[in-house]
Amino acid sequence: MPYGDMQTKSKREDIASTQMLKTRLAANKRASRDFDEWCLRQFPELPMPSRIMDLGCGTGKQILLFSPLISPRSQIWGLDLSGESLQRLTKKYSAKAELKLLEGSFDQLESFPDLHDEQFDLIYGSYALYYTHDLPRLVTHIYRFLKPGGIFWVIAPYTGTNDEFLRIIRKYHEVEAFMDYVFDQFHVEVIEMGEKVGFKHLKPSLLRNRISFPDSSSFMDYLSHSLFYRPGFDQAIKKEVDAIVDAKGEFSLSKHIISLQLRK
């Protein structure tokens, strides 16, 4: 069964929830290293002008970050399930490159009439593409839509992410196999399928980061807006986090991130 079809909290309304996304992004301000700065250092060399697509763009965090680096005659395309998120992006966008937005699923790339083969110089997805229902099909379509020499760029969690609180919550409820897949197997499959469809070059990079919470309340707020949250266990989890905060002065989570750039 494809992981996208599993009964997990990664259902459509959770993925599209702007409030959940905002809460998780706010927690990144507590990180030991700057994720945005790291992303900017990974940004690939592109022709001028260029065509870029962000799959699962949300409210446009990466588009807003990258757009100042794009030549003015370029195009940036954003695709997302949430029309609300796309509207927010439209209001915030101010770069000179043309912005084109599509509402829908990246599992249906071939259904958008404006998309055609060898159109893009860069197609990327940040913390999004593991929600696909069919990764081989998605990677195949991405390869088709890239120009010769074009880049498919994936940013995703890496092995060891969230280990500190996963050890706690596994005592009280099951963590779906989907989440273990995201951390431990997704990046492996991207590489394998990328090679299979014809990508010729791979550039990996790894960021080992940490997010610290000063008390259990701030962590519980983060947890309640995550895909791991299950009601009914708050007091037990909070008690364990309190004990760690008392002993160490904070509760700290590993946030390991992998960047994979596959060149056609």
Q: Does the residue 113 lie in any domain? A: yes
Radius of gyration of the chain from Cα atoms?
19
Buried b (16+ CB within 10 A) or exposed e, 86-97: bebbeeebebeb
pLDDT of residue 3: 38
Mean pLDDT score of the chain, rounded to an integer? 90
Residue of 244, 238, 245 whose CA lies nearest to 224: 238
Length of the chain, in residues:
264
Sign of CA dihedral 63, 66, 69, 74: negative
pLDDT of residue 13: 44
Q: Tell me if the pTM is above 0.85.
A: yes
Q: What is the CATH number of the domain that holds 181?
A: 3.40.50.150
Query: Would you call 221 helix, strand, or coil by DSSP?
Result: helix
**Cβ neighbours around 98 below 10 Å, total:** 14
Residue 117 has pLDDT above 70, yes or no: yes
Q: Does the residue 237 lie in any domain? A: no
Report the number of distinct structural domains present in the chain. 1
Q: Does the residue 238 lie in any domain? A: no
Q: Does the residue 76 lie in any domain? A: yes
**Cβ neighbours around 48 below 10 Å, total:** 10
Residues 6+ apart with CB under 8 A from 57: 63, 78, 79, 80, 85, 86, 89, 101
Q: Which domain holds residue 34?
A: 3-163+175-212+254-263
Q: Does the residue 168 lie in any domain? A: no
Q: Does the residue 218 lie in any domain? A: no
Q: In Å, what is the CA distance from 175 to each residue of 9, 57, 141, 165?
A: 10, 26, 31, 11
Residue of 246, 241, 249, 136 whose CA lies nearest to 189: 136
Say if residues 114 and 145 touch (Cβ distance below 8 Å): no
- The string of pLDDT tens digits covering residues 21-54 is 555 556 666 777 899 999 999 999 999 999 999 9
pLDDT of residue 27: 61
- The string of pLDDT tens digits covering residues 179-211 is 999 999 999 999 999 999 999 999 999 999 999
Q: Does the residue 244 lie in any domain? A: no
- How far is the C-alpha of 151 from the C-alpha of 143, rounded, in Å? 9
Q: Does the residue 75 lie in any domain? A: yes
